[in-house]
Amino acid sequence: MPPPADHHVKGETVAYNKPIPEPDPLGKPFWDGAKAGKLMLPRCVDCSRVHWYPRHICPSCHSDNIEWVEGSGEGYIHTFAVQHRAMGGWAEEAPFVTAYIDLVEGDRMFTVLRGVDPKNPESIKIGAKVRVEFEAATDDVSIAFWRVAE
Amino acid sequence: MPGELSRAAAIVGAAEANEIGYPKTPKTALQLHMEAIKNVSNQTGIPISRINGVFGAGWSSQIAEHLGLHPDYIDTTAVGGCSFEMHVHHALAAIHAGIIDVALVTHGENGYSQRATGGRGTGRARGGDPWDPGSLYSNPYGVTGAPSNYSHALTRHMHRYGTTPEDFAEIAVVTRQWATLNPRAVMHSKETHPEGGPITVETVQKSRIISWPLTLLHVCLVTDYGGAILITSPEIAKSLPTKPVWIAGAGENMSHSNMLEMGDFTATSAAASAATAYRMAGMGPEDMEMAMIYDSFTVTAGITAEMLGLAPKGEGFTLWKSGKAAPGGSFPINTNGGGLSFNHSGMYGMQLLVEAYRQLSGTAEDGVNGIAGKQTKARSCVVNGTGGSLSTTGTLVLVAD
């Protein structure tokens, strides 16, 4: 199980206060995996390519033969930005760093990057290795975040 | 050799709503549409009842209904700010095919007024689909719209080409110079806005940080706008009191919808849409004498200049830094003051078209929309709209009569 959906404010536990996705049928294996702390990725059985986000047909070869595989949970920073303005729960965390992650298996995910200093963007390196982690937003929904691994 | 569609139709007039920018009393999108349509009808002498094709972004049937029209061609392509360049492409084909001979392309958007109306009067449904890929896989991470997305492209451009935010700030500085020649520009002067008038690279870099590496003055305005153009067959165009501006080339393309699918963060589909437009025109970037380039952000304009073949990859910003793009320069760009300093209602493609028409018809310095120094000598203009998150593009090659 991912760590619980709380952070501690003055000794009190508060609920996850950022946007919580509403899992859809197409992505169910991903969301089930996230809940179990696994990065599940859709892969085309015919051309073996992993794609992100989940599709009804493979965006590379257009096969409708898609399977789900457990990813390594590793990737690299493709590009990033530091968000100084945000809404709702994210506003309390600003500035924070968003990034596109090149997955080791192929294709790309978007995330909020952990283990970096948003006040010093020059210290964040494109190409740096990152590892996935999950945070439980509710009992049913866990969200993937990525942390710099080196 | 120009393609079959080249010059098969002309833009014969371009007009705006009576009040644009930051109106004192709130406007609705529909009002902004209607004022612009009425004005372009008056300008050209083409009665509204004569329009037989209606092109708008997302709600053409409501616009046509409001006008009491029953058009033979209805196109409501809405793929972001480049939709209007695509509408021109589609209208060109429809006129060439003989389906219609008078096309209205129209835009109304109360980007500013909707703050006062609580989101009413936009002409759009509110809220998104929770099962949209963006809702599921992007929105949980605190991004809040265009600035928070486009910044990722600038970071990658800096990494790949060794460029700096200061390089891109040059685009904002030069674009502001053009705004000082346009009395209708929000940032024209201290009279139009407390922060208006000339700026420097230092002003841009010291403005409030929005989404690193983008500071506030790298980001476009949020205003009200209404604009409309009329496109006709060559026969009608030659019979009117206004000057025709010929559609020599048109093209469109896209690389993605969600930025998750953007393969190369330093490139857009403008390379493809421009190739199509240049091929149709039988012209190339070397034949262009000015450009109107969607500048939602400085980075959008810089990268697009590269995609249009106006500068080598990684060096788009040099057009501005060298002064070529500035008033009096050898290659004017964004002569209305741009989305950065003139007006940006949310979708900016119509503003590009209206200014390109004015420049190529010799009406850019009418005292209302331009003062001495704004009218260029250009006889050809490449126009490029960009929509979404550097997602979609429409490119036009327009030439003077």
* Structural domain includes residue A136: yes
Q: What is the mean pLDDT of residues B9-24?
A: 98
Cβ of residue A17 closer than 8 Å to a chain B Cβ: no
Instruction: Give the CATH number for residue A93.
Output: 2.40.50.840
Model pLDDT, residue B194: 97
* Structural domain includes residue B315: yes
* Structural domain includes residue A129: yes
Q: What is the mean pLDDT of residues B308-326?
A: 98
Taking only the tens place, the pLDDT of each residue in B141-171 is 999 889 999 999 999 999 999 999 999 999 9
* Structural domain includes residue B201: no
* Structural domain includes residue B202: no
Q: What is the mean pLDDT of residues B123-146?
A: 89
Taking only the tens place, the pLDDT of each residue in B38-97 is 999 999 999 999 999 999 999 999 999 999 999 999 999 999 999 999 999 999 999 999
Q: Which residues lie across from B262 on neighbouring strands?
A: none
Model pLDDT, residue B145: 86
* Structural domain includes residue B207: no
Chain A residues whose beta carbon lies within 8 Å of the beta carbon of residue B155: 79-81, 126
Chain A residues whose beta carbon lies within 8 Å of the beta carbon of residue B258: 53
Model pLDDT, residue B125: 74
* Structural domain includes residue B291: yes
For chain B, the farthest-separated pair of C-alpha atoms sits apart, in whole angstroms, at: 56
- Nearest-Cα residue of chain B relative to residue A114: B141
Distance CA A135, CA A35 (A): 9
**DSSP, res B240:** S
CB neighbour list of residue B273: distance below 8 Å, 6 or more residues apart: B251, B252, B253, B384, B393, B394, B395
Alpha-carbon distances, residue B201 vs B168, B172, B204, B237, B311 (angstroms): 9, 8, 5, 44, 21
pLDDT band at B124 (very low <50, low <70, confident <90, very high): confident
Instruction: Give the CATH number for residue B374.
Output: 3.40.47.10
pLDDT cut 90: percent of chain B above it: 97
Distance CA A110, CA B117 (A): 34
* Structural domain includes residue A58: yes
Model pLDDT, residue B320: 98
Domain containing residue A60: 24-148
For chain B, the average pLDDT equals: 97
- Option in B130, B143, B212 nearest A84 (CB): B212
Taking only the tens place, the pLDDT of each residue in B288-298 is 999 999 999 99
pTM: 0.96
Domain containing residue B330: 10-118+221-400
Q: Which two tokens stand for residue B319?
A: 């057009």
If one counts the domains in chain A, the total is 1
User: How many CB atoms lie under 10 A from the CB of residue B32?
Assistant: 31
Does pLDDT of B287 surpass 60? Answer: yes
Taking only the tens place, the pLDDT of each residue in B370-401 is 999 999 999 999 999 999 999 999 999 999 99
* Structural domain includes residue A11: no
If one counts the domains in chain B, the total is 1
* Structural domain includes residue A83: yes
Q: What is the mean pLDDT of residues B314-327?
A: 98
Model pLDDT, residue B128: 83
pLDDT band at B318 (very low <50, low <70, confident <90, very high): very high
Cβ of residue A146 closer than 8 Å to a chain B Cβ: no
* Structural domain includes residue B189: no
For chain A, the average pLDDT equals: 93
- Nearest-Cα residue of chain A relative to residue B138: A110
Taking only the tens place, the pLDDT of each residue in A17-68 is 999 999 999 999 999 999 999 999 999 999 999 999 999 999 999 999 999 9
- Cα angle for residues B206, B210, B211 (degrees, 5° grid): 115
* Structural domain includes residue A65: yes
Chain B residues whose beta carbon lies within 8 Å of the beta carbon of residue A24: 130-131, 136
Q: For chain B, list residues whose CB is within 8 angstroms of any CB belonging to chain A.
A: 130-131, 133, 135-144, 147-148, 151-156, 159, 208-214, 258-260, 265
Model pLDDT, residue A11: 47
Contact B155 A81 (CB under 8 A): yes
How far, rounded to the nearest angstrom, does the alpha carbon of residue B86 sit from its chain's CA centroid?
11
Does pLDDT of A3 surpass 60? Answer: no
Q: What is the mean pLDDT of residues B177-187?
A: 98
Chain B residues whose beta carbon lies within 8 Å of the beta carbon of residue A138: none
pLDDT band at A8 (very low <50, low <70, confident <90, very high): very low
pLDDT band at B127 (very low <50, low <70, confident <90, very high): confident
Residue type, B302: G
